[in-house]
Copies of this chain bind each other. A is one copy, B any other.
């Protein structure tokens, strides 16, 4: 059921089989599988998963290619609740390993917040990442286009940028390197440092060899209308016309609650095995938090894998039910 400040006390004394941190595609998929394995689960969602911002999911089989990410999330949430899973809108501040259980400390409500502690045997970290966006004086100007034709994922939206004039917005030379992969889809590439960093002579040379343009002054604002970005106005008032954009400024990992747990990482990502288990035997990581491809369908599959492995662990520890009526009556 949907938990809230009013009714969450009903659940603080129980130990869930699993708590899932994050209600995106991965977390909801995990929750659906957990409930169908007859395990008890709680999904704690801070809201606004990365897929929430996707205007059109172009590559998720089974859904028409203009389906918004939030439609998938709404469907998944209904599905999960119909299986009697618990769902709480809240922010996980800390997870403490108590040996047999985890204590999960949650802040509920942005105003007049209350704090609660829930307990579980297994934890699934599904809280994902969110992309850093260009920082402009009026951020509303960025939100106007982000997720429309100002993309954050080359894998997802390279196709949408084919043969278009594309601006690549980076925060370091290394993340601007995505331009050479984007160069598979289109040659008409202009890179923007936004005045944030210097570019090495070697990188500058590579760009020249490809005919890619480099703009090194700050951006004043994106231009366009009806969520379609048509160019950039620079600090000096000049305009660069574009037909699409690719933001490549790195990502914020929503996983500070895991800090005390000393999990194995590779770069910023959690290392997992084939069933999405981290280096801690009772903690799983799925979707964008883990090493691997950041795709909705991959996160959804990760959720199935993690839930299945948790079920196997618990099932093996518990053993199969016995058909009591067929057993010999034991004499006292």
Give the interface of A toward B (CB within 8 A): 25, 28-29, 32-33, 35-38, 58-65, 67, 71-72, 75-76, 79, 82, 155, 158-159, 162, 179-189, 209-213, 274, 292-293, 295, 297-298, 300-305, 308, 311, 315, 318-327
Given A297-B301, A323-B211: A36 touches B62 (CB 8 Å cut-off)? no
Chain B residues whose CB sits within 8 angstroms of the CB of A82 once the complex forms? 65
Q: Are B38 and A326 in contact (CB under 8 A)?
A: no
User: Which chain B residues border A155 with CB–CB below 8 Å?
Assistant: 308
Which 10 A/B pairs are nearest by Cβ-Cβ distance? A183-B320, A211-B323, A211-B326, A301-B301, A187-B321, A36-B159, A187-B323, A62-B72, A29-B61, A61-B76
Minimum CB–CB distance for A185 against chain B, Å: 7
Q: Chain B contacts of A187 at CB under 8 A? A: 320-324
Supply 14 further A-B pairs (C-beta < 8 A) apart from A36-B159, A181-B315: A25-B62, A29-B59, A35-B159, A61-B79, A61-B300, A62-B76, A65-B82, A180-B320, A184-B315, A185-B321, A189-B323, A211-B326, A293-B308, A300-B301
Q: For residue A211, give the distance in angstroms from its CB to the closest CB of chain B.
A: 3
**Could you write out 27 A-B pairs with CB less than 8 Å apart?**
A25-B61, A32-B59, A33-B59, A36-B58, A37-B158, A37-B159, A38-B159, A38-B162, A38-B184, A61-B72, A61-B300, A63-B75, A65-B79, A180-B320, A183-B321, A184-B315, A184-B318, A184-B321, A209-B322, A210-B320, A210-B321, A213-B326, A293-B305, A295-B301, A298-B304, A298-B305, A301-B302
Contacts of A29 in B (CB 8 A): 59, 61, 297
Most buried by B among A82, A297, A323: A297
Q: Enumerate chain B residues within 8 angstroms of A210, measured Cβ to Cβ.
A: 320-323
| Min CB gap A307→B, angstroms | 9
Contact B79 A75 (CB under 8 A): no
Give the residues in chain B near A326, CB-CB below 8 Å. Answer: 211-213
Contact call A304/B59, Cβ cutoff below 8 A: yes
Contact partner, A323, options B33, B158, B188, Cβ 8 Å: B188
Cβ contacts under 8 Å, A300 to chain B:
60-62, 297, 300-301
In the bound complex, residues from chain B placing their C-beta under 8 Å from that of A72 are 61-62
